[in-house]
Amino acid sequence: MADPNTDSAERALERQAERAREVEHRVKNTLQLISSIVLLQGRRAADEAARQALKAVQQRVAAVSVAHRHVTWTDEAEQVEVAALVREIVGDLAGSAGREGVDIDLDLDAVTIPGRQGAPVALLVSEMVGNALRHAFPNCRQGRVKVAVRRTATGFDLTVSDDGVGMTPGAPPTGFGLTVVQLMAQQLRGRLDTSAAQPGLRLSVSVPMDTNASRA
């Protein structure tokens, strides 16, 4: 005979999981709505600098929305497959940039992270790839951007490199996008490395794996 206390506890857990999924769905829809509003406002802005700033905001909101869309549920927790997340964000950025002559290569190991890390990783990808597409190839310069996810003994490395114009020798890396990258790396307890790629620029974030996260 089934223990009524056990059945009650299982039903409570099921209801809790269902409520969490409903909240996740509402958050995802809200982010998509905000992204659409920012995009519309950007199209109506008269000033080019304002349009570009609003476009950057829209891309950040869209990246977080993609992260929520890629959350899956197991019996124990939420998780995100990094490779699928990266593919969608990079595809969106490439389509938005409309840069002919700039190719993007993906080299992605299978890595699964906890759901709560999805948004910071999504923002890392959006900023690192977005910065390369915006700044590495001025004046219709052609080139290549490489995005790699590598599993390591302690976690994974996310690396974005390009063969563009790079940084001015001796100048420290600056810009709001890089500030976002640094903040997201800190939130993930990761380490950011910025180096010249000869030619171009290489950004790499080493993220320690949560011991409670499963790997694909």
Report yes or no on 78 lying in a domain.
Answer: yes
37: domain CATH number is 3.30.565.10
Alpha-carbon distances, residue 125 vs 15, 42, 144 (angstroms) = 34, 22, 16
Question: 42-53 pLDDT, tens per residue?
Answer: 777 778 888 778
Report yes or no on 214 lying in a domain.
Answer: no
Tally the domains of the chain.
1
Per 3-state DSSP, what percentage of the chain is helix, strand, and coil (rounded to 5)? 50, 20, 25
Domain span holding position 150: 4-208
Question: 63-105 pLDDT, tens per residue?
Answer: 998 998 898 887 677 899 999 999 999 999 998 887 788 999 9
Per DSSP, which regions of 93-154 are E strands? 102-108, 112-114, 143-151
Question: 130-156 pLDDT, tens per residue?
Answer: 999 988 898 889 999 999 999 999 999
The pair of three-digit structure tokens given for residue 153, joined into one six-digit string: 């003994």
Report yes or no on 21 lying in a domain.
Answer: yes
Contact between 122 and 110 (Cβ < 8 Å): no
